[in-house]
Amino acid sequence: MKRYLLALFAATSFCSGCASIVSHSTWPVAIASVPIGANVVVMNRQGKEVYSGTTPAALNLKSGSSFFKRELYTLKFSREGYETKTTTLTSSVNGWYFGNILFGGAIGMLIVDPATGSMYRLDQKEVQVALNQGQSLNLPQASPDALQIVSIENIPTNLRYALTPVK
């Protein structure tokens, strides 16, 4: 019986990683914006698009990029009539990774957890961005000496104060 327990302990110590067993390598993240319905594009460290859609959204994102490399996400929010905003989401070392000192051994600490991405975790469970209304007009290009007529609906509300009535 002692040999069986010793063999079981040795197998778990040398063939697994603590964070891989107790934790996981993908984490839920809620993405929201004010106003609702903004377009969001999530890009990983390599610049690959991971997600593209509208807010609100719920995603499961990987915490590891590659062997011994944490993931870094860039989130770009945009909506017509609003300024585009970009923010980042980074992972940090998972506390369970240090459990390898007691349970996972060297293989867990140097191979299993870094390879699976369980070595890292995404601490930020939600990302919320408030978009500001655009400060400029999006008009077609006209020649500098031409008169251009624009509908008031095409002028952002925060710029309408600067209009002067023509009599």
Tens of pLDDT, residue by residue, the chain (167 residues): 556 544 545 554 444 455 555 556 687 999 999 999 999 999 999 999 999 999 999 999 887 776 768 888 999 999 988 889 999 998 877 766 566 666 656 666 666 666 666 677 788 899 999 998 875 556 666 677 777 777 777 777 767 777 888 87
Residue 159's CB is within 10 A of a number of other CB atoms, namely 13
Q: Specify whether domain 2-137 bears CATH 2.60.40.1120.
A: yes
Alpha-carbon distance 138 to 155, whole Å? 9
pLDDT at residue 16, as a whole number: 47
28 preceded by a cis bond (ω within 30 of 0): no
pLDDT at residue 148, as a whole number: 75
